[in-house]
Chain A
Amino acid sequence: MTTQVAPISAPVARPMAIAQVSGRRGMPRRRQLVLQLVCLAIAATVLFPIIWIVAMSLDPRNVSRPDSLIPPGASLTAYGKVIVKPTLNDISFLRLALNSVAIAVVVSLASVSIGSMAAYAFSRLQFRGREFLMIAILAVLMLPAVATIAPLFVQLNKIQLGAFNLRASLLGVALAVTSSQLPFAIWNIKGYLDTIPRELEEAASIDGASRFQIFRRVILPLATPVLAVTAFFGFIAGWTEFYFSSVFLTGNVDLTTLAMALNGMVGQYAASTPWSQFAAFSVLVALPVSVVYLFLQRYIISGLTVGGVKG
């Protein structure tokens, strides 16, 4: 397995463009037409659910169920309603989003800062127990996050300071999510560090730099793409976290997260939410991370073939 991050798409793009121009003349018109139709059909299936949900979110009629694929007219009323009061409970969208962001930020920062240091040790340093630790981390990486829900619930539940119970707090959920994100972060960052040439460090070492200076001044700046991607994955894991928050945070409406609210919209009480509001809520949750994903796409895709993302 090799990690190639930034350079993968840049150098390939140029010769391709040349090939396109010279080749287009060579392709028979009929073949071009058939391929265009195939590509358009694929594009239509890809776009269909996205267009449907956006169209539904703009439905001005506030009917509980839409009866046409494209609603007549368009308005932002559903967005307005869902921002003020997304669920049956007395909690605003902003509050939900802040709860999810709190989890996301802790997971993101913890996994990148702690993970990058460990990744450096695994990538560059030799020490006793290196192989054993790497296998241990890989084994944890393989296990789905849901599989640790019982012991984490019981353990976090034991930490009680007065009225504060760690299990029933956003921090408790963030710790549980970090427990599954950290092995991924270590593995993902290590894969990238392995591809950074060692000569740079040796040069810095000759200049008298210590290991920590090398890590901070040489390695971290070079690893920016993978750090950004790992931080972003940590953020998504927190932003859309469902299983830990839905099990840990029961009974406290103020701590409801985005995914918990979404579950309410499609689960048992789905009938109480008009579909236009469900659609608007989905767009509001997806849009911020989708846009960032598109920006980071180039780095993410090459990184994906190396590590693994936990669900």
Chain B
Amino acid sequence: MTAVAVAPGATTARPSRWRRSQGSRTAYLFLLPALLVMAIITFYPLVFQVWMSFTDYGLTNLRFNAPAPNYVGLQNYQRILDNNIVIPNFDFLRILVFNLFWAFSNVVIHVVLGVMIALVLNTKGLAFKRFYRAIYILPVVIPPIIVATVWRNLFDPQYGAINQLINGTVGVLFKLPPVTLDWLNQPNPILAFGPLILPLAYFALLAANVWLGWPLNSVVATGALQSIPQDLYEAAEMDGAGWWQQFRAVTLPFLRPAMLPYAIYGFVITFNLFYLSYFMSGGGPFGQTELLVTTAYRLVAEQHLYAVAAAFAIFEFFILLAITLVTNKLAKATAQFDA
């Protein structure tokens, strides 16, 4: 990051005419359009959202000249925590735990796969590198909404490509009866551990998101790998370091500073990933693959509970704030460890 704001007195002490002309007035002129627009369509709605969350704002309050909604205190927040909402299978703790696990498991797999594939592609003397790089970027360029709808189609129990593929390979090889696995709706969870419930649909979503997520991690890792001076490896080799030792002593210290910010960014993106959950599993079975963002959407789109949605968004804000603070701390801690 560049310059930190300097106290107003300090600017006058600067020698050049150029520096002295950097007045606040010009800055505010540049900022004016953005501040005006954001004040109206971003900050005001956010403040309004806080107010809304303490009322019973609903469909009836939308009408023109409708009476003002009633003040209800913390009731909306209480309803969310008590799971007292008409959405079927609504369980705030389960959704939160699943959402955290969803983001975490995805990012770990994306980063590990991304780095491994980047290492393979970075092997000296590998033929057709450019061809592979061109193909591997393809998942990134397709709009996520299309990725989600296409993968839903792939996991169709009767006609989906995944089941057909299983039947055409493993099924033919071992002479199995055709499988019609209902990937996205199979009701019995594969794994249940307290509030963490993982149905088969989770693994289907995971497969789709791994397909979508590793390529960019690989690109970031490739950039870091190519910045490593080759003589470091030569020196390590002369010292008799094996493949693993070279990876730990030379490769990893270069990868970490590049991958860590990207992993944090990936965590937040995956945490808020609307499309896969909404379009692939529809949050099912029994709301087990519902995320905070899809729940927020359903509260408005399906239930018209505007006030509850506002309270829900405020919970979401604090959860994301906590995530940001924790990840920033982790990033700083590991950075100091490096130095």
CA distance A259 to B146 in the complex (A): 9
Interface-located stretch among B80-88, B137-145, B237-245, B246-254: B137-145
CA distance A183 to B254 in the complex (A): 31
Contact of B226 among A16, A48, A183, A294 (CB under 8 A): A16
Report A97 CB to chain B, min CB distance, Å: 14
Known: A19-B124, A126-B3, A202-B18. A243 touches B46 (CB 8 A): no
Known: A66-B159, A286-B146. A297 touches B124 (CB 8 A): no
Contact of B127 among A32, A139, A206, A267 (CB under 8 A): A32
The closest CB in chain B to the CB of A250 belongs to B301
- CB–CB A126/B27 < 8 A: yes
B5 in contact (CB, < 8 A): yes
Q: List, in ascending order, chain B residues with CB within 8 A of A69's CB.
A: 161, 164-165, 168
B195 in contact (CB, < 8 A): no
Report B208 CB to chain A, min CB distance, Å: 9
Interface-located stretch among B90-98, B102-110, B185-193, B305-313: B305-313
B201 in contact (CB, < 8 A): no
Q: How many residue pairs, one in A and one in B, have C-beta atoms under 8 Å apart?
A: 299
CA distance A176 to B42 in the complex (A): 9
How many residues of B are counted as interface, with CB atoms below 8 angstroms from the partner's CB atoms?
Answer: 109
A217 in contact (CB, < 8 A): no
The closest CB in chain B to the CB of A310 belongs to B272
Known: A126-B6, A128-B8, A147-B313. A186 touches B34 (CB 8 A): yes
Report B256 CB to chain A, min CB distance, Å: 14
Report A303 CB to chain B, min CB distance, Å: 12
A227 in contact (CB, < 8 A): no
A278 in contact (CB, < 8 A): yes
Q: List, in ascending order, chain B residues with CB within 8 A of A182's CB.
A: 34, 37-38, 42
CA distance A130 to B11 in the complex (A): 15
- CB–CB B293/A140 < 8 A: no
Contact residues, B169-221 vs A (CB, 8 A): 211, 215-216, 219-220
B70 in contact (CB, < 8 A): no
Known: A38-B120, A114-B34, A146-B296. A140 touches B46 (CB 8 A): yes
Report A46 CB to chain B, min CB distance, Å: 6
The closest CB in chain B to the CB of A36 belongs to B127
The closest CB in chain B to the CB of A137 belongs to B38
B74 in contact (CB, < 8 A): no
Q: List, in ascending order, chain A residues with CB within 8 A of B321's CB.
A: 139, 142
B279 in contact (CB, < 8 A): yes
Contact of B117 among A16, A42, A293 (CB under 8 A): A42
Known: A46-B211, A118-B31. A242 touches B145 (CB 8 A): yes
- CB–CB B272/A311 < 8 A: yes
- CB–CB A176/B41 < 8 A: yes
Contact of A114 among B27, B37, B226 (CB under 8 A): B37
Known: A27-B126, A142-B324, A305-B262. A259 touches B145 (CB 8 A): yes
- CB–CB A178/B37 < 8 A: yes
- CB–CB A142/B142 < 8 A: no
Q: List, in ascending order, chain A residues with CB within 8 A of B168's CB.
A: 69
B49 in contact (CB, < 8 A): yes
Q: Give a binary string over B30-70; 1 marks a CB under 8 Å from any A CB, 0 the rest.
A: 11011101100111111011001000010001101000000
Sample of 9 A–B contacts (CB below 8 Å): A20-B125, A35-B126, A52-B154, A146-B296, A154-B306, A240-B146, A243-B301, A286-B146, A308-B269
